[in-house]
Amino acid sequence: MSQRAIRLLACFSLVIMLIVACGERKETRLEKNTADGLVLNAYKQKDYPLLLALADSLEKIGALSPVKSYYWRGYASDHMGKKRAAEYYWKKSGSSITDFKNPEEVEYYAKSASRLANLKCVKGDYEGTLQFAIPVVEKLEELHCDTTSDYINLLIFIGCGQSRFANLGEGNTNIFERAYTKHLEHLKNNPSQDEYKSAIAGIVNIAYNCLTIHQYEKTVYWCKRYEELLDKYEQLPGASSSYLDKQRARQNIYSATALANLDQELDAYIAYSEFKKTEFSKSIEGIYDEGEYLIDTEKWSEAADCFQHLNKLLDLYHMEFTFDNIQNFLLKKYEANRMAGRKDTVYAVSTYICDSLSAAIDRYKHEDAAELATIYDTQKKESKIAEQKASMLRERQLAALITIILISAFFIAYMLYKHKSTIKLTKAHEELKEAYNQLEETTSAKEKIESELRIARHIQESIVPNEFPQRDDFELYASMTPAKEVGGDLYDYLIIGDYLHFCVGDVSGKGVPSALFMAQAIRLFRAMAKRGYTPVKIATELNAELVEHNDDGMFVTMFIGMVHLPTGKLDFCNAGHNPPVLGNGNESKFIPMESNAPIGLWEGLQFTGEVIEDIRGRLLFVYTDGLNEAENPQQVQFGDEKLLDIVKRTSQMSPRDVIKTMKSEVKHHRNGADPNDDLSMLCLRIK
């Protein structure tokens, strides 16, 4: 080849390279300060749709890093009520950080982690909170970034998560103290209003967490620290009186609730009186907080009065019909009015709940589809960006290939690289698709299970009576405490003339099927008792009805009794149930009885009934096996001997106090262990 040809080839190659270089796509970049200013302006204006759009667009042109962009997209989604999208974006923010030496990147990494941990805590995913937040805290400590408010918030959320697990209880106390110490260090270095508000918000979370898990002594302890911070904040120049009034109100209502549950009635009354002095207590929010306190202290009429203002609170915050709002607001209003005996209001609220539930289901389906569409659209955009980058890479490689067309070795290497990149991209896409499908299936299954358990628990709690007669000739009280997994305990009573009919039972199985079987058993018991059937006939007829179409093999153990109130004569039939206790001081004993089979197992069973001629002046205590088989962390059961000993000591108390004492003894025996079965008790004394 001549020298002229070589020069021409070199010039041609140079021209091609320049053309390709000049033809590469150039992104229009904004100055960093301008981009941050746009985002912060949308944030201050609370224009969350604009904030979401800006974060997306500014990341595309490189004006925002992925860590910051995903944080703001999560923040906007959260304030628009799109919790699933917010969780997705904050997870992406945490996984997008590449430079832990960049302070700004680390700052937004911590912000996203704090928001995500809070979101998981609010929805009750405490195990997920711990699995996510603990590694983030360890990373921030490794980077010596453990002095920010986001780091302290993460400590608090970890403490909230640990408090829900019995074996981690001591750890959460220590971590709360660490968080509080960090806040005090901040205040010492910078005693500003913002720092005090941040510290107060942290203490509010700790106190409220202790209150919700019934750690009342710890609630009182943290409320005192809450009060101390408010006293110091009040001394600051320009301290907000409205903010102080609201925080004083909440500190006092939390204290009042805890003190009331610790039986410190005078101190509880003083705290409640201080709450009533605040302007916040007269607001819609304050009235709602007061309603929660009154429910907790079983002041049903006053609570029902408070919840008359519930619709104003929903309107004030433009709350839509969601499952959470129905549970947090409408069901509490229903409970307060039901326990206050306001039947007309109960019927009206029940109808409103049914209408609201229908709207909530429609809203959930619509929002769920919209959030999934948003997440899928984000993933499509990310794939498109990846494709554009791959396309730009191919163009540069093609230009290089043209300039060195004669070098075959490079050509072969390029082809191998291209093939390998394509395989990796395809594999990554398939893995992402599979992971997303698994996430969606898991979320759907979990929500279905939680919904089923809520329905079963509602059936179980609404079917048994919660009001008991106030009469001179007898005292009656009963209680049912559901376990974590809903079972099918039942109890009921009817007064027909001079006769008191009652029953206590335990349905086999868990969940909605056992709850429905329980409801059917109670319905049949009531119908037969109204006809004046004896206990043995009720057991026989119940068996005949329940055995039909019982393909699942479900059954119920029951103690059925009928007392003639003027004479104290007790007719009863025990169908495979635990023997009741007849209480009379040291002479208390388990009643010896015939061992009949449970109801619902086999057709044609003939049950044996029995009689005690007079139980007047003695205590009849009937229970389910959730009492004597209650287990502590070492799986040691409560036992029949301990049960009988407590009845001997309490047989002269009122039925209500007997059951209250028995509950307290079982709780002490469990020592923090979760209930392994429902616990139901019925106590009767004929005078």
pLDDT digits (tens, 9 = 90+) for 549-594: 787 888 999 999 999 999 999 999 999 999 999 999 999 999 999 8
pLDDT (0 to 100) of residue 341: 83
Query: What is the arithmetic mean of pLDDT over 251-265?
Result: 91
Query: What is the arithmetic mean of pLDDT over 290-298?
Result: 84
Superfamily of domain 468-686: PPM-type phosphatase domain (3.60.40.10)
pLDDT more than 70, % of the chain = 75
Structural domain spans, the chain: 468-686
Q: Is 227 exposed, middle or buried (0-12, 13-18, 19+ CB in 10 A)?
A: middle
Query: What is the arithmetic mean of pLDDT over 239-249?
Result: 94
Residue 184, pLDDT above cutoff 60: yes
Q: Tell me: the pLDDT tens digits for 352-370?
A: 666 666 555 555 555 444 4
Contact between residue 222 and residue 210 where contact means Cβ atoms under 8 Å apart:
yes
- Model confidence at 17, in pLDDT bands (50, 70, 90)? very low
pTM of the model: 0.49
Residue 7, pLDDT above cutoff 60: no
The mean pLDDT of the chain is 81
- Model confidence at 468, in pLDDT bands (50, 70, 90)? very high
pLDDT (0 to 100) of residue 634: 92
- Return the biggest CA–CA distance within the chain: 130
Q: Is 134 exposed, middle or buried (0-12, 13-18, 19+ CB in 10 A)?
A: middle
Q: Tell me: the pLDDT tens digits for 510-521?
A: 767 787 788 889
How many other CB atoms are found less than 10 A from the CB of residue 329? 19
pLDDT (0 to 100) of residue 216: 92
- Model confidence at 20, in pLDDT bands (50, 70, 90)? very low
Give the range among 256-260, 378-382, 522-526, 649-653 with minimum mean pLDDT: 378-382
Strands (E), 281-393: none
Tell me how far CA of residue 370 lies from CA of 81, 83, 320, in angstroms: 11, 12, 16
Q: Tell me: the pLDDT tens digits for 101-133?
A: 898 999 999 999 989 988 888 877 888 888 888
Query: What is the arithmetic mean of pLDDT over 526-553?
Result: 91
Contact between residue 555 and residue 601 where contact means Cβ atoms under 8 Å apart:
yes
